[in-house]
Amino acid sequence: MTPPPSDDLAVDARGLLKRFGGFTALNGLDLQIPRGAFYAYLGPNGAGKSTSIALLTGVYGPDAGTIHMLGVDAVAKPLEVKRRVGVVPEELSLFERLTGRQYLTFCGRMYGLDGDEAAARATELLELTELSYKAGALVAEYSKGMRRRLAIAAALIHAPELVLLDEPFEGIDVLAAGVIRELLRELSRRGVTLLLTTHVLEIAERLATHAGILRGGRMLDQGPVGTLLERYDCPSLEAVFEKLIAVPASRNARLSFYGGDAAAPVPVVAPRRESA
Ligand SMILES: Nc1ncnc2c1ncn2[C@@H]1O[C@H](COP(=O)(O)OP(=O)(O)OP(=O)(O)O)[C@@H](O)[C@H]1O
């Protein structure tokens, strides 16, 4: 018999099954995130990360399995969960004809904040994401990285206890990435539970307390980062990832139509010397 959901878990999803027509995207996925954890959710392209986040956030219903978030049955009570959870989806759909400030204030009002509180939080979040200078511009005029930062700000406006971020660093320049990293660390210090998907394992390495690695819609392993490093006798999450995910056959593919010698050494560019 399946044990009951634990109060110590912010996310407790078991046996998730999701099919798209004849294709099985999630195949009995288990995902357990302790409260207060910074959880790196890792897997190759197509592993099922975004699909499972869509299930957690009620975009789709699971074909089988259970989802408890913050102790609440997320399938039976999606609204109760949504009030306490923030989401930054991979594919952003923002309101283009609002300014950044209007968009954040609107999101705050949607979560039931009064006008003054929503406006005050919008100002603070615009500062934190370094978008104050763009607050009065239409979202349609934002660059890709600015849109991502605005989406992160919007996900935080109702002070959620759990935040799910699907590739939040995509398209973000190196300076802004530092700002977002610090913001996420600060949330973590304040006890907010975070789930982060990223293909940049160095980011996961720097932030995560816990990690889960999935492939083919199944969780291969998950737990505290230290435990995973020990279990696989690896110095880094990247090494654990490589050990768990088989090297795809395409690594050995050749650009046959180019001709030339595929076994030739890769040219090395000599470092430039400063002239005296
Ligand atoms: N709406 C859909 N219809 C059909 N197949 C889908 C749909 N959404 C996702 N899939 C398939 O489900 C699998 C999991 O996709 P998903 O987007 O969850 O992967 P991911 O781990 O988020 O990948 P990535 O790292 O590339 O973002 C993929 O094989 C994908 O092609």
ipTM for the assembly:
0.97
pLDDT of residue 176: 84
- Whole-number Å distance, alpha carbon 143 to ligand 1 midpoint, is 25
Residues contacting residue 17 through CB under 8 Å, at least 6 positions apart? 24, 26, 27, 28, 29, 62, 63, 64, 65
pLDDT of residue 256: 77
Ligand 1 neighbourhood includes 45 CB (under 6 angstroms): yes
pLDDT of residue 93: 83
Residues of the chain with pLDDT > 70, as a percent, come to 93
- Whole-number Å distance, alpha carbon 49 to ligand 1 midpoint, is 8
pLDDT of residue 2: 59
pLDDT of residue 251: 59
| pLDDT class of 4 with cuts at 50, 70, 90 | low
| pLDDT class of 154 with cuts at 50, 70, 90 | very high
Task: Inform me whether the pLDDT recorded for 249 exceeds 80.
Answer: no
- Whole-number Å distance, alpha carbon 29 to ligand 1 midpoint, is 14
Residues of the chain with pLDDT > 90, as a percent, come to 73
pLDDT of residue 5: 66
pLDDT of residue 10: 97
Q: Domain spans of the chain?
A: 7-84+161-246, 93-159
Give me the mean pLDDT over the 153-161 stretch: 96
Give me the mean pLDDT over the 43-51 stretch: 95
- Which of 51, 52, 219 is the pocket-test mutation for ligand 1 (most atoms within 8 Å of CB)? 51
| pLDDT class of 269 with cuts at 50, 70, 90 | confident
**Among the atoms of ligand 1, which is closest to the Cα of residue 53?**
18
- Residue in this structure with the two tokens 């030739």, named with its chain if needed: 264
Which phi-psi region, left, alpha or beta, contains residue 82 (left: φ > 0; alpha: ψ -120 to 50)?
alpha
CATH 3.40.50.300 assigned to domain 7-84+161-246? The reply is yes
- Whole-number Å distance, alpha carbon 232 to ligand 1 midpoint, is 28
Give me the mean pLDDT over the 67-93 stretch: 92
- Whole-number Å distance, alpha carbon 199 to ligand 1 midpoint, is 15
Q: Which regions of 133-261 does DSSP assign to beta strands (E)?
A: 162-166, 193-197, 210-215, 218-224
On average, the pLDDT of the chain sits at 91
| pLDDT class of 272 with cuts at 50, 70, 90 | confident
CB burial class (10 A; 0-12, 13-18, 19+) of residue 118? buried
**pLDDT tens for each residue of 206-247:** 999 999 999 999 999 999 999 999 999 999 999 999 999 976
Task: Inform me whether the pLDDT recorded for 274 exceeds 70.
Answer: no
Ligand 1 neighbourhood includes 47 CB (under 6 angstroms): yes
Give me the mean pLDDT over the 98-106 stretch: 96
Please tell me what DSSP assigns to residue 209: S
181 versus 3: which is more confidently predicted? 181
174 versus 273: which is more confidently predicted? 174
Give me the mean pLDDT over the 33-48 stretch: 96
Ligand 1 neighbourhood includes 129 CB (under 6 angstroms): no
Residue nearest to atom 6 of ligand 1 (CA): 20
Q: List strands edge to edge, sheet with 85-88.
A: 85-88, 162-166, 193-197, 38-42, 210-215, 218-224
**pLDDT tens for each residue of 127-148:** 999 999 999 999 999 998 899 9
- Whole-number Å distance, alpha carbon 92 to ligand 1 midpoint, is 16
pLDDT of residue 193: 97
Ligand 1 neighbourhood includes 187 CB (under 6 angstroms): no
